[in-house]
Structure 1
């Protein structure tokens, strides 16, 4: 490629199976140590260290230091959006893992996508916000309406807190399992935090699944009705 941004370097970095496993593990939004990521990637600590250095230098990862310990996280929102889009494309093209497990159904139902809600629950929440007029959607151009500001205030979210964020208030993110839009951006993150605060759901001890309680599921569906 002679002109424009060079995607070949990023493609090569993400295309390595071990590095892809590291990146998707970090989509859970948690910062992990090099040894934890080596386990996720199925490689030795030394090999993982080399992978992490390459991805840090490329701007995909952020190394966080706390005392003697080093933790790694995705470098920012854009990396998360890129990875979720790639997962959606891979799923749409039939490039699926051959092994499935008991966590797969939970992941498809509700999961963390970097810092917002994805899966069937995330798509339901987005569809409800559009249907009720809280979000005006023109393809991928999303706007929080005045009615929407009132709606999130009822849920206990200060509308000013999402307006003053440096991030986009609303952003469309293609869900890899549903292949439809779920809500990202400052509002998507605030809504997931509020779901946790209200005890409607909790993070699974491992992985990216978000587990709703029975009462929490009822409250969630009442807050985000369809039709």
Structure 2
């Protein structure tokens, strides 16, 4: 923080409304959605959704783009998704009142999208396997994805200890990712998040986003249902992760 005091309380107040959190959560996988779709996914009225979106836009948390007569809303950037993940780490679990809610909570912990890259048990396990196979290399001498002493739970991993490893082209190529193509994008190639459910690093940035998209195209994961961040690892995906990365997860 520089240039004088900042009004953290004003921004924090935006996250104190459960309905507004549902709007942000519906956008947390990087999609751009119309207000009507957001209303349906968040379980809100169209008027209520519009009011929440106006406040979120004013705060710079949500951006809007126009296509013809339609307006689509998305998170203003990857950092907003990281902020949601950070808040989740400090938030108590909602009480499980039914088998359905318990299953949904476990599904989020197992596999989900963090903005547009893989998170949860699957995302953390894939990142660890990339390190073990030399697709990534630790630059601090610690050959694991465990939390480093300098990592703050209340912030994204701003100075990550990884670089591309000696086997990066081969391993990512096997997973359908063209490193040369991804490297030319303006977005940072390598970014990492502290996974709130696993408390380990998972891969984000342009490379993490492209990896998630490639695995989806191959049919290795799919959405559990429309509008939900939780993902389902398919039987094909579970077998492929065992074959390519030696990651053994139950589909």
Report the TM-score range of the alignment, normalised by the length of the smaller protein: 0.7 to 0.9
Q: Does 1:170 align with 2:152?
A: no
Q: Paired residue for 2:220, among 200, 203, 206?
A: 200
Name the residue aligned to 1:98.
95
Query: Contact 1:88–1:174 (CA<8 Å) still a contact in 2?
Result: no
- Structure 2: which 5+ runs fail to align? 141-147, 149-159
Within a 5 Å distance, the mapping from 1:123-162 to structure 2 comes to 123-137=124-138, 138=140, 139=148, 140-162=160-182
Q: Paired residue for 2:241, among 216, 220, 223?
A: 220
Q: Deviations over 1:3-47 (max 9, x none)?
A: 244322221112222211111121122222223333444443222
Name the residue aligned to 2:36.
35
Within a 5 Å distance, the mapping from 1:60-79 to structure 2 comes to 60-79=61-80
The alpha carbon displacement at 1:74 in A equals 0.7
The alpha carbon displacement at 1:145 in A equals 2.1
Instruction: Find the aligned partners of 2:89 and 2:207 in 1 and give their Cα distance.
Output: 22
Instruction: Find the aligned partners of 1:81 and 1:216 in 2 and give their Cα distance.
Output: 26
- Structure 1: which 5+ runs fail to align? none
Instruction: Find the aligned partners of 2:55 and 2:242 in 1 and give their Cα distance.
Output: 43
Query: Contact 2:219–2:236 (CA<8 Å) still a contact in 1?
Result: no
TM-score, with length taken from structure 2: 0.80
Instruction: Find the aligned partners of 2:247 and 2:229 in 1 and give their Cα distance.
Output: 25
Query: Contact 1:127–1:226 (CA<8 Å) still a contact in 2?
Result: no
Q: Does 1:184 align with 2:218?
A: no
Change (3 A) 1:159 1:4: farther
The alpha carbon displacement at 1:50 in A equals 1.4
Q: Which moved more, 1:81-90 or 1:180-189?
A: 81-90
- Name the count of aligned residue pairs: 223
The alpha carbon displacement at 1:77 in A equals 1.0
Q: Deviations over 1:96-132 (max 9, x none)?
A: 1123343222222111111001111101001111122
The CA RMSD over aligned residues, in Å, is 2.2
Query: Contact 2:65–2:71 (CA<8 Å) still a contact in 1?
Result: yes
